Amino acid sequence: MASPKAFPVRPLSRVLLSLVLSASVLARPSPATAQDEQETLIRDTEIEEILHADADPILRAAGIEPKTVQIALIGSKELNAFAAPRLMGINTGLILKTKNPNQLQGVIAHEVGHLAAGHSARSGEMQAAGMKPFLLTMGLGLLAAMAGSPDAAVGLVGSAGYFGALGAVGYSREQEARADQAGATLLEKAGLSGKGLADFFDNFRYQEVFAEARRYKYFQTHPLSSDRIDSLQTRVQSQPHFKEVDSPEAIARHQIMKAKLDGFINPQSAIVTYAEADRSYPARYARAIAYYQLREPDKSLKLIDALLEEQPENPYLWELKGQVLSEFGRAKEAEAPQRRSVQLKPEAPLLRINLGQTLISLDDRAKIEEGVSELKRSLTLEEDNAEAWRQLAQAYDKLGQEGLARLATAEYDFEIGDVTQARIFAMRAREKLPKNTPEWRRATDIVLVSKPSREDLKELAREGSSSRNP
C-alpha cells in the first residue's frame, strides 16, 4: 500500500506513488459534519489477483471480458464500490466489512448490475472522463506508517475529474432494487449463491433509519430500504445455486486479503486482532506486516522468514521481505528476495518495478543498467505504468543519458495527465536525442499531443516534424 507522500518533496522511499484525493470526490457532497478523509489509490499484485478471482466469473456472466476491466483498490475506511465501463473500484473499508468471499461477490454483482443497466453512464461527463491518469502505479507499502506525515496531504490529482464524475452518480431506490435483481441474476448465471448479496445489505439494514450525515457514503449514494432487502432475500432464496458455499480456497484467499489490509492499514489493532496465539497463516502474515508498519523490522523479518520456511515458493512473502529490507536502508540485502519474487512471478510488472528500483539505488553502473532492463520489461507488461517511467528517468540520469532521462520524465508526466510538463520535457529531450531516432520521434509525438505552443509548432515546422501523425 502506497505511502501518501507529497511529490516531489523528497524521493519516495518505496516503489510507490500515491494519488491522494479528497473524500468528497468519491461521493455526493456530504454535510459539513462528515469526517474528512484522504483516499489513496493502491496497487498490489496479490490483492488484485484475489479481487479478479472474485469478480471475473460475474463479469463473464455479464458478457464482459475480465481482461478489459481494471480493478482499483482504494485505501479508505469508508464502505464504497462502483463500476464504470472498463473500471471497477472497491474500497478497503468495504472489503474489511465483508465476512466471506460470497458477500464481496454480492457487492461486485450489484455494482455490475448498475453497469449492465446503464445507471453509471447517465452522465455524459462520466462517459467523457479520462481514465489514464487514474491508476498511478503503486505497490503495497507504507500507508499506515506514513499517514500522519505532514507532507501526506498533497498528491497528484490528475484523475480527480474522473472521480468527480463517478461521485456525481446518486442512485434512486428504484435503481437500487433493479441492480439487486440484476446482481442476483448474474450470481446465479455464474453458478454462485446470492446469499452473500442479501446478507451484506441485511447487515446494514439499520442504516435506513440514520440521518444522511450519519450513513456510510455508500448508503448515501445507494439508499437502502427494508422492502428492498426483503425482496432481494426472497429472490435469492428461490435460486438453484442459493445453497452453494465458498470453496476452502476462496475463503483462504479472502482471509489473506483482509489480513494483509489490516496489517498495513490498522497495524496497532492488527497486533491485537491477530494475537500471538493464532498460528494461522493469515494471522502471522498480518503480524509480520503490522510490525513492519510499526517500525519494528527485526520482528517483522523474523516472522517473514518463518513463513518462508513453510512457503518458499510464495512470491508475495519474498516481495514483503524485500520491501522491509529496502525501506529500512538495507537495499543490498533487498535485492535477493526481490529477484526471487520476480523469478516466481515473472509476469507481474509491480514486482519488476520493485527490483528495478532497488537495483538503480545501488549506485553500481552494471546494476543500474540491469534496473533499466527490469523497468523496461515492466512497461512491456503494463505500458501505462507511470511509476516505471519515473524510475527510468532516475536511472537514465544516473547513467548520464540526459536525453533518455528527459524523455522518460515526459512519458511519466504524460501518463499522469500533466501535458504541460510532458511537452516541456519532450522538447528538452529532443535537444539531447539524436535526430530521427525512435526516441527522438517519440518525444516529437508527445509534443504534438500535449497542447504545443505556437513557438513549439514553429520549431517543429522548421525541421519538418509538425506534420507527423502521432
Would you say residue 3 has pLDDT above 60?
Answer: no
Would you say residue 285 has pLDDT above 50?
Answer: yes
What is the C-alpha separation between 265 and 275, in angstroms, rounded? 17
The 10s digit of each residue's pLDDT in 126-181 is: 344 333 433 333 333 333 333 333 333 233 333 333 344 444 444 556 777 788 88
Lookup: cell for 457: 509548432
The 10s digit of each residue's pLDDT in 63-96 is: 999 999 889 888 888 888 888 888 888 999 999 9
Q: Specify the higher pLDDT residue, 150 or 202.
A: 202
The proportion of the chain whose per-residue pLDDT surpasses 70, expressed as a percent, equals 73
**Mind listing the domains of the chain with CATH numbers?**
20-246 (3.30.2010.10), 401-470 (no CATH)
The predicted structure's pLDDT at residue 77: 87
Collapsing DSSP to helix, strand or coil, 147 comes out as: coil
Q: With a threshold of 0.95, does the pTM exceed it? A: no
What value does the mean pLDDT take over residues 218-228? 66
The proportion of the chain whose per-residue pLDDT surpasses 90, expressed as a percent, equals 56
Range from 193-207, 236-250, 437-451 carrying the lowest mean pLDDT: 193-207
Report the b/e string of 141-180 with b at 16+ CB within 10 A.
Answer: bbbbbbbeeeebeebbbbbbbbbbbbbbbebeeebbbbbb
Would you say residue 121 has pLDDT above 80?
Answer: no
Range from 33-37, 290-294, 354-358, 403-407 carrying the lowest mean pLDDT: 33-37
The predicted structure's pLDDT at residue 229: 82
What is the C-alpha separation between 439 and 385, in angstroms, rounded? 18
Q: Please name the amino acid found at residue 460.
A: L
